[in-house]
Amino acid sequence: MALPALLVTGLLKHTQKHFSLPGGFYGIESIFLLLALMALARIKSIEGLRYTAPGEWGKLLGLDRIPEVKTLTVQVHHSSTQSHDEAIKYLCDELNATETIFPGTNLKLIYKLGSS
């Protein structure tokens, strides 16, 4: 299988140095291994995992199941002034309150200003 070859060539070598996740059930290594398996299985997007059995993919990673995608985040860049940013943040909050579902999916849209 190709996964051992990817691991030997350094798939996870710098993971802890350059990436982090808040504490939770899924570690960053599990996420990178899942992305590698998706590439090998020719699944082109994380959305494509919605049409597969999460338990089967989880078994490949030694987990009960894989993370499921339930949201789609729209990140708006900061504007040139603080007053504009405040207006954009207000609009994001109002849009988030509507709990809009992206058409054709079950993904809830979440609007964010910058990296906040």
- pLDDT tens, per residue, the chain with 116 residues: 677 777 787 878 888 777 776 666 677 788 888 888 888 889 887 777 777 777 788 888 888 877 776 777 888 889 989 999 999 999 999 999 999 888 877 778 889 898 64
Number of domains forming the structure of the chain: 2
Neighbour count for residue 33 (Cβ, 10 Å): 22
With respect to residue 54, please indicate whether it lies within any of the assigned structural domains. Answer: yes
Q: For 95, phi and psi rounded to 5 degrees? A: -65, -40
DSSP string, 40-59: HTT--SGGGGGGS-HHHHHH
Whole-model pTM: value is 0.55
Same-domain pairing of 23 and 47:
yes
Domain that holds residue 43: 2-61
Same-domain pairing of 7 and 44:
yes
Same-domain pairing of 78 and 41:
no
With respect to residue 13, please indicate whether it lies within any of the assigned structural domains. Answer: yes
**Mutual orientation of helices 28-40 and 54-61 as an angle, nearest 10°?**
110
Residue of 72, 70, 6, 8 lying closest to 34 (CA atoms): 6
